[in-house]
Structure 1
C-alpha cells in the first residue's frame, strides 16, 4: 500500500478537474499511458469518482478450476475483494481487456457500494449493467457482459499491481473518473497534479468563454500572447478564480 494517503484537500480538487486536464499534466511529466483505455461510465453521474485503488486481478480460466461450486468458497478472491475493499477506495479490476465474461454483477457491485466503495472500474464488462447504471456509486466498464466470470476468467489475486486497459495500476494509486474516462495518478504525484490541474482548469474555463464570445484560438489556447494572459488575470479576479 502507498505511504501517500489521499488528503481531503487533494480529493476535493480532483473532484473539480477533468481526466483530460490531468492527462495533460501527467504528459508534462513524461507519463503518457495512465488513462484506462476502452472503458466508459455505465451511466454518467455528473461528478467525478476519486479514491485510492484497490485491485483485483483475473487470469485465463482453466475449466476444471472454475465450476459454479467455486462461489461456495468464502475465500473466493472475487467475493473476498468485494468484502475487503476499504471504504472510500475504488476497486479496479484487471479483466484482461475481455468482456467475454462479466467481471461482476449488480449484487456484488451493490454490496461494494453499501460498504462505502467510491467506485468500480473494469476493463471487461458487467452483467446486470442496467441495474448498476442506477446505483449512486460510479461504475466504468467496456460493455455489458452477461456470462459469469467463471466462463473465461479466474479471480486470482487481490490488491497487487495490475494492468487495466493498458494502464499500470498500483494499490493506493489515485483513481479519477469523469463522465468521459478514467485516469490513474501515481500516489506521490496526486497533490501536485491536483494543484496544477486546478490552475489549468481555470485557464481552460476562461479560454472556452472567450471562444464562445467569438475570440480566435491563436494566441489564446495555448496562451502565447501576453494579451491573453492579461485578460485571464482580469477574468480571474472578476470571477474569484
Structure 2
C-alpha cells in the first residue's frame, strides 16, 4: 500500500531539522535512518523533501560496461534521470564508492529542469563545483572526476537499495538539510512530521531560555513544573 506525500506533510518537514527527525525516529526504534558520509554541495537554502526514486549501481564489468552503453536509450542511468518524477528525490546506491562519479552536472541539471526535488548518492559527483552553484539540492560523498562507467554499472531503477548504510525503499520520504539526509518510512511520515514540528517548537523555547542564561537542568527535558508553565506561556505569547 502506498502512502503518498501530502503537501501539508511536505511543508511541515521543510520546517524541521534532520537532527529532530532522527530523534523522532529513534523514539520508534528506528536507529539507522541518517545516510552516512553524505554531504550537501553548495548552499542549503531550503530543506529538501520528496519521495524516493531509486537507482542501483553494481560493480562494473569491463566487457559489459564500455562507453558505448550510453548509446542505448534504455540505459538505466539515463532512464532514471528522465523518469524520476517532479517533486521526488533521486537516490543512488553507488556502494559507498566515490572513486568514480554517480553523475555529473549535465544529468543533475536535467533533473533540476524537470522539477525533481533533489539528488542523493553515497558515491561522488563529477563537475561538483558546477553542481554546487546550481539552485538544486544535491548530496554526495566527495568529488570524483572519473565517469561512473569505470567502476559502476547502472542496473535497477526504483527498487529497494542501500545508500550510505541505510535501506531506502521507493516512496520513502527523503529529507535533506545542511547536516545531511534522513530517510523516513512513508507509512509514518505524517506522524513523524507532526511530532517533529512539536519538538521544534519546544526546542525553540529552550534555546531562547538558554540564551537568557537559564540552566538546562529541569528545562531540557522539562522535569520542573515551572519549565512546563513557562513553555505554555511562551507558546501563547509567540502564537505557536
TM category, shorter: over 0.9
SS in 1 for 2:178: coil
Task: Quote the Cα distance in structure 1 between the aligned partners of 2:138 and 2:95.
Answer: 18
Task: Quote the Cα distance in structure 2 between the aligned partners of 1:33 and 1:21.
Answer: 14
Partner of 1:174: 173
Deviation at 1:100, TM superposition (A): 0.5
Task: Quote the Cα distance in structure 2 between the aligned partners of 1:65 and 1:81.
Answer: 19
Task: Quote the Cα distance in structure 1 between the aligned partners of 2:209 and 2:56.
Answer: 46
Deviation at 1:46, TM superposition (A): 2.3
Q: TM-score, normalised by structure 2?
A: 0.99
User: Where in structure 2 are the equivalents of 1:147-162 lying within 5 Å?
Assistant: 147-162=146-161
Write out per-residue CA displacement over residues 124-161 of structure 1, whole angstroms, 9 at most, x where no aligned residue: 01000111111111000011110000011101000000
Task: Quote the Cα distance in structure 1 between the aligned partners of 2:156 and 2:14.
Answer: 29
User: Where in structure 2 are the equivalents of 1:158-237 lying within 5 Å?
Assistant: 158-237=157-236
The answer to whether the Cα contact below 8 Å between 1:47 and 1:179 also exists between their aligned partners in 2 is no
Task: Quote the Cα distance in structure 1 between the aligned partners of 2:47 and 2:222.
Answer: 27
Moved more, 42-51 or 160-169: 42-51
Alignment RMSD: 0.7
Partner of 2:50: 51
Task: Quote the Cα distance in structure 2 between the aligned partners of 1:197 and 1:139.
Answer: 23
The answer to whether the Cα contact below 8 Å between 1:56 and 1:157 also exists between their aligned partners in 2 is yes
Task: Quote the Cα distance in structure 2 between the aligned partners of 1:22 and 1:123.
Answer: 20
Equivalences, count: 240
Write out per-residue CA displacement over residues 60-103 of structure 1, whole angstroms, 9 at most, x where no aligned residue: 11111111111111111000100000111000000000100000
Deviation at 1:47, TM superposition (A): 1.6
User: Where in structure 2 are the equivalents of 1:135-154 lying within 5 Å?
Assistant: 135-154=134-153
Task: Quote the Cα distance in structure 2 between the aligned partners of 1:191 and 1:210.
Answer: 29
Deviation at 1:122, TM superposition (A): 0.3
Unmatched 5+ residue regions in structure 2? none
Whether 2:120 is the aligned partner of 1:93: answer: no
Unmatched 5+ residue regions in structure 1? none
Deviation at 1:44, TM superposition (A): 2.4
Task: Quote the Cα distance in structure 1 between the aligned partners of 2:97 and 2:225.
Answer: 49
Moved segments of 4+, more than 2 Å: none
Partner of 1:103: 102
Q: TM-score, normalised by structure 1?
A: 0.98
Deviation at 1:217, TM superposition (A): 1.0
Whether 2:62 is the aligned partner of 1:63: answer: yes
